[in-house]
């Protein structure tokens, strides 16, 4: 699995890099959201951790040594999360609102450098769906295609009746 470039700031020391980002994500209850935390250096992911600090004993997502560990995942997230650097949280609810942190470590196997660590914060806000009040009157219901077909059929019948009437009146009477 590889991470792709995305984060916004960095520091370097001794061949290692630290990347971080702050992001705001909004969603409506029931939607699915993508929480992103990615390194600018492509490499083998050795560790990916997603946490919600208010649930300090559990992870949203935990990945190490090419394997995800569902047993470390909080019960409220089980069956709703997929990913590695970026995770997909499905069927969000207002309870999912909050700050999420991620930490991703990669190892560049082609040049043998040390770990690159990406750290990020995603502030997720989930709201209930509310229908905005309408400022115009509701549109009439129906199917425009059916109505147009009926008008066309009625016009055809009227024209056909007129033609039949003209033909009959033009014929000599027996």
**SS3 for 60-93, per residue?**
CEEEECCEECHHHECCCCCCCEEECCCEEECCCC
Low-confidence ranges of the chain (pLDDT < 50): 1-18
* Structure token digits, residue 110: 């082609």
Give the pLDDT of residue 134.
60
- Judge contact between 36 and 120, C-beta under 8 A: yes
Q: Contact 34/135 with Cβ under 8 angstroms?
A: no
Region class of 77: left (phi > 0), else alpha (psi between -120 and 50), else beta: alpha
Spatial CB neighbours of 76, under 8 Å, sequence gap ≥ 6: 55, 95
How far apart CA 27 and CA 100 sit, in angstroms, is 15
* 30 conformational bin, left if phi > 0, alpha if psi -120 to 50, beta if neither: left
pLDDT in tens, 11-62: 333 344 445 556 889 999 999 998 887 555 566 777 888 888 887 777 888 8
Q: What secondary structure letter does DSSP report for 96?
A: G
pLDDT of residue 86: 77
| pLDDT at position 36 | 80
């Amino acid at each position: 699995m590889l991470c792709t470039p995305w984060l916004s700031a960095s520091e370097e020391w001794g061949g290692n890099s630290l990347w971080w980002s702050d992001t705001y994500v909004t969603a409506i209850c029931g939607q699915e959201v993508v929480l992103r935390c990615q390194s600018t250096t492509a490499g083998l992911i050795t560790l990916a951790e997603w946490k919600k600090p208010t649930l300090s004993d559990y992870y949203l997502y935990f990945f190490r040594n090419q394997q995800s560990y569902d047993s470390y995942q909080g019960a409220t997230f089980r069956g709703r999360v997929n990913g590695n650097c970026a995770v997909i949280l499905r069927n969000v609810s207002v309870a999912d609102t909050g700050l999420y942190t991620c930490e991703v470590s990669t190892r560049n196997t082609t040049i043998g450098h040390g770990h690159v660590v990406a750290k990020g914060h995603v502030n997720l806000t989930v709201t209930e769906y509310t229908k905005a009040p309408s400022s115009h009157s509701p549109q009439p219901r129906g199917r425009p295609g059916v109505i147009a077909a009926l008008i066309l059929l009625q016009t055809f019948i009227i024209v056909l009746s007129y033609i039949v009437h003209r033909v009959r009146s033009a014929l000599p009477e027996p």
